[in-house]
Amino acid sequence: MEEDLKQSLLKKRILIVDDLEDNQEVLLALLEERGFEHLFTANDGNVALRVLNNNTDIDLVLLDIHMPGMDGYEVLQKMTSNNRIRHIPVIMVTAIDQLQSIARCIQAGAEDYITKPVDENLLWDRVYASLESKYFRDMERTQLLAMQPNNSAPKDAPEASESLDTESDDTIENASVLVVHIVGIEYLSVRVSTTELTRILNYISRSFDLQAKNNQLEKFQSTATSYLVAGGIPPFTNSGSERCLAFGRAVLQYVSRFKEIDSVKLQARLGMHTGSVRTGLEGESRFTYNLWGDTVEFAKELAAAGKPGHIQVSASAYDQLADKSPFTQHENVEIAGGGEIATYLSTGEVS
C-alpha cells in the first residue's frame, strides 16, 4: 500500500515558481532524481496565477518569496482568496535570512517551507508530506461529494482537466505597447567585468519592474538591451496609452541619471504603438505569459528607429495622447508589413 501511494504521488503535478532559471533548474533536478514525472515552471507570480487558473490540475506549488513585480507572499494571498485554487498546497522557498517572512506566509496559508540552498532529503520529505496530505484530503472530499444528493459538487470545487491547456489566447483591441531599447550596453559589456555588468543590468531591470508595477503595466519581455511593457491589458484596461507614456518618461529620467561608466554613457530609445494584440500562455512545461501581433512588432521598430532620450509614438498612440502631453511630428518610419507611417516624438527630452 505504501509503495502504491508513493508511485501515485510521483505522478502528481508540481509547479515551480521562481524568477531565476538557475533556481528552477536546481529544484527540477532534485525532484526528477526522486522520480517525479510532471514538473512545470513559471518565471513570475502573474504567470503562475494564470497557469493555476487555466484548468491545469496542479497538485503542489513550490513558491519563491523574493521575486520582482508580484512577490511570493502576494501570490499566496491571491491563491488563498480564490475558491478555485485555494485547496492547492504551497511550499514557500526562501533564503535563511527571510525566515521572518516564512512565519507570515504560514499564517497566510502556506503548507510548509524550505530554505536555500535546498537540501535534497528535506525537499523530498516536505514535498512528499504535502502531497500525501492533499491525497487524503482529496479522497475525503470525494467521499463527501458521493454522499451528497445527485453527487452535486459545491460551487467552489476546482474543475479537473486531463492536460495543461495553454491555448487560451485573448485578443485585446486597444492595447498600447511600449519598447525600451538601452543604447550603450554592447559597448559597456567589453569594458567592465561580467559581475559588474550583471549588477548594472539587474539594477536597471528592477527599477523598470517597479515603474511598470506603479503604472499598472504588464511586463512581457526583458533582455540585456530591451524591455517591453503593455497597457490596456486586463485587469487594468483603462488609460493604457497614458500609463505607457508615464512609464516611458520615468524610464528616460532614470537612465539619464546614470553617470558615464568607463567612457560609456547609457541612453534609451523608446517606441510606442497602439492597436490590437493577442495574449496568452505559451510553453509545454515552462510557462510564460506572452504578447503577439503587429502592434508589438511596430513598437519594436519604432524603438529601433527612435531618437535617444525620446519616446517615438505612432499616429494611433498620438491620437490618444495629443491632448495629454506635447509632441512634435517626426520623420516617417518604414515599418515591415505596415508601410511608411507617421511618427511623433515626446518633447520631454532628457539631457
Domain architecture of the chain: domains with CATH: 2-151 (3.40.50.2300), 170-346 (3.30.70.1230)
pTM of the model: 0.67
pLDDT at 326 over 70: yes
- Higher-confidence position of 258 and 140: 258
Quick one: which H or E segment has residue 236?
A: none
pLDDT at 16 over 90: yes
pLDDT at 26 over 50: yes
Using alpha carbons, select from 63, 17, 25, 65 the residue that is nearest to residue 44: 17
- Higher-confidence position of 69 and 35: 35
Instruction: Provide the mean pLDDT of the chain.
Output: 84
pLDDT in tens, 200-225: 888 898 899 999 989 999 999 888 88
193 vs 223: CA distance, rounded Å: 18
Quick one: which H or E segment has residue 165?
A: none
In sequence order, what are the residues at sequence separation of 6 or more whose Cβ sits closer than 8 angstroms to the Cβ of residue 87?
A: 134, 137, 158
pLDDT in tens, 71-125: 899 999 999 988 889 889 999 998 766 666 777 788 888 999 998 889 999 999 9
Provide the 8-state DSSP code for 305: T
